[in-house]
């Protein structure tokens, strides 16, 4: 940023290089230079631009100049949001990952198979499963208690989710593998739903170790993924099958469909075009005027 400001001052586009004396016109020129610069053949991300303007604001405030803060606050500078398509796995990729878990086998394979199914079919966030306790899973009523929701104690809401039939075999297979793993290590019981056993005892997986758990599965499947990819995958699969976006959004525990469509899943273009075209066909295909016929 310092080099950009120096170039702007040297070329006479800003009145000063001293942050304490920056004017509104100076800030606009700096903002446009940051916004229009080339980053590997592309414009910078809005998130990057936002961080840079935050830095410029802090520097100016240190110099007793509130110009950037005021311009951001009253909207004279608008940064906006990055436009990003929600990412999800296709059904075929999901099946490949589940099959790869079987091929890996052992505790890692069974734990990954269970995690993949739970995150997809209950549309869980990774942390909600990673930190879950065995008591959160009720195989009598077939429910799962989200006891560690995102934003806990702030806006997160503890909820008990019904487990669909498709998920039940994965749960039963995992519980059997879990008991066998613990017994092989001489452990009678463990509180974490997916227990991480080490020389320090039995604990929940850390975020980092939970992320590494899938490394062998990714190699076997030939597909790179993150645990967080399965939540939008579950939503997108339901949406593709015709479940209304409002119901998909509610099942993902979102306050509105805007969050669902912006970050997780939305109607795919090809089915949308096909459905709209089919609607036109039903309405007008037999019309005389449309077919160029006369009475």
Span 33-61, pLDDT tens digits:
998 887 777 778 888 898 999 999 999 99
Query: Is a pLDDT exceeding 80 seen at residue 285?
Result: no
**What CA–CA distances, in Å, run from 115 to 97, 112, 120, 200?**
11, 5, 8, 23
Residue labelled with tokens 């091929």 = 103
CB atoms within 10 A of CB 107: 19
Query: Total domain count for the chain?
Result: 2
End-to-end CA distance of the chain: 73
pLDDT at residue 294 above 80? Answer: no
pLDDT of residue 259: 81
Domain containing 40 equals 2-73
Q: How far apart are CA 245 and CA 265, in angstroms?
A: 9
Identify the pLDDT of residue 291: 59
* 217 shares a domain with 109: yes
Residue 78 within a domain: no
Secondary structure of residue 131 in the 3-state scheme: coil
The reply to whether 26 and 148 lie within a common domain is no
Question: What is the pLDDT at residue 48?
Answer: 87
Q: Region 210-229: what's the mean pLDDT?
A: 95
Which string of b and e fits 20-30 if b means at least 16 CB within 10 Å?
eebeeebbebb
Helix (H, G, I), strand (E, B) or coil at 262: helix
**36 and 100 part of one domain:** no
Residues 190, 58 share a domain: no
Same-domain pairing of 224 and 112: yes
Please check whether residues 104 and 192 belong to one and the same domain.
Answer: yes
Predicted confidence at residue 22, as pLDDT, reads 96
For residues 232 and 155, membership in a common domain is answered with: yes
CA–CA dist 234, 84 (Å, integer): 19
Residue 167: closest CA among 191, 199, 144: 144
- Three state DSSP letters for 159-170: EEEECCHHHHHH
Q: Residue 82 domain-assigned?
A: no
Looking at the predicted structure, is the pLDDT value of residue 3 above 50? yes
Under 8 Å CB-to-CB from 226, ≥6 apart: which residues? Answer: 211
Q: CATH code at 233?
A: 1.10.443.10
Q: Is residue 194 part of a domain?
A: yes
The answer to the question of residue 284 being in a domain is no
Closest Cα partner for 265 from 287, 289, 243, 293?
243
- Is the residue at 141 inside a domain? yes
* pTM of the full structure: 0.66
Give yes or no: residues 147 and 27 share one domain. no
Residue 21's pLDDT is what?
96
| pLDDT tens digits, one per residue of 76-95 | 898 876 556 678 899 999 99
Residue 180 to residues 24, 140, 189, 195, 251: CA-CA distances in angstroms?
68, 21, 11, 12, 33
* 43 and 106 assigned to the same domain: no
Contact assessment for residue 138 and residue 202, using Cβ atoms and an 8 Å cutoff: no
d(CA 158, CA 151): 10
Do 56 and 102 contact (CB within 8 A), yes or no?
no
Answer whether residue 179 is part of any domain. yes
The per-residue pLDDT of the chain, averaged, comes to: 89
106 assigned to some structural domain: yes
Q: Please tell me whether residues 26 and 67 are part of one structural domain.
A: yes
The pLDDT score that the predictor gives to residue 281 is 81
Cβ within 8 Å of residue 125, ≥6 positions away: 149, 150, 228, 231
In this predicted structure, what is the pLDDT of residue 270?
A: 66
Q: What pLDDT digit, counting tens, does each position of 156-193 carry?
A: 466 899 999 999 999 999 999 999 999 999 999 999 99
257 contacts: CB under 8 Å, gap ≥ 6: 245, 246, 249
Do 164 and 97 share a structural domain?
yes
Give the domain-ending residue among 204, 219, 239: 239
User: Is residue 207 included in any domain, yes or no?
Assistant: yes
- Among candidate residues 221, 239, 257, the one where a domain is terminated: 239
In this structure, the answer to whether residues 69 and 119 fall within a common structural domain is no
Cβ-based neighbours of 11, under 8 Å, separated by 6 or more: none
Amino acid 292: pLDDT: 60
């Amino acid at each position: 940023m310092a080099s950009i400001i120096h170039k702007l001052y040297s070329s006479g586009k800003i009145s000063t290089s001293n942050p304490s004396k920056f004017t509104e016109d100076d800030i606009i020129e700096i903002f446009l230079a940051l916004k229009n610069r080339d980053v590997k053949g592309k414009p910078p991300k809005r998130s990057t631009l936002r961080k840079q303007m935050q830095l410029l604001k802090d520097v100016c405030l240190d110099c007793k100049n509130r110009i950037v803060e005021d311009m951001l606050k009253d909207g004279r500078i608008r940064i906006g949001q990055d436009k990003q398509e929600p990412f999800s796995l296709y059904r075929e990729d999901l099946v490949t990952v589940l099959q790869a878990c079987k091929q890996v086998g052992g505790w890692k394979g069974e734990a990954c198979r269970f995690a993949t199914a739970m995150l997809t079919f209950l549309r869980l966030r990774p942390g909600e499963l990673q930190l879950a306790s065995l008591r959160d899973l009720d195989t009598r009523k077939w429910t799962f208690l989200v006891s560690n929701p995102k934003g806990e104690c702030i806006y997160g809401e503890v909820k008990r989710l019904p487990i669909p039939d498709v998920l039940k075999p994965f749960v039963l297979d995992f519980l059997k593998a879990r008991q066998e793993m613990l017994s092989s290590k001489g452990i009678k019981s463990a509180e974490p739903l997916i227990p991480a056993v080490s020389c320090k005892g039995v604990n929940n997986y850390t975020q980092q170790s939970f992320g590494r758990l899938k490394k062998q599965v990714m190699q076997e499947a030939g597909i790179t993924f993150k645990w967080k990819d399965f939540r939008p995958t579950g939503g997108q699969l339901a949406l593709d099958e015709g479940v209304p976006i409002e119901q998909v959004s509610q099942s993902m525990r979102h306050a509105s469909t805007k969050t669902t469509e912006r970050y997780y899943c939305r109607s795919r273009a090809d089915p949308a075009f096909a459905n709209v075209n089919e609607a036109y066909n039903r309405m007008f295909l037999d019309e005389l005027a449309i077919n160029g016929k006369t009475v």
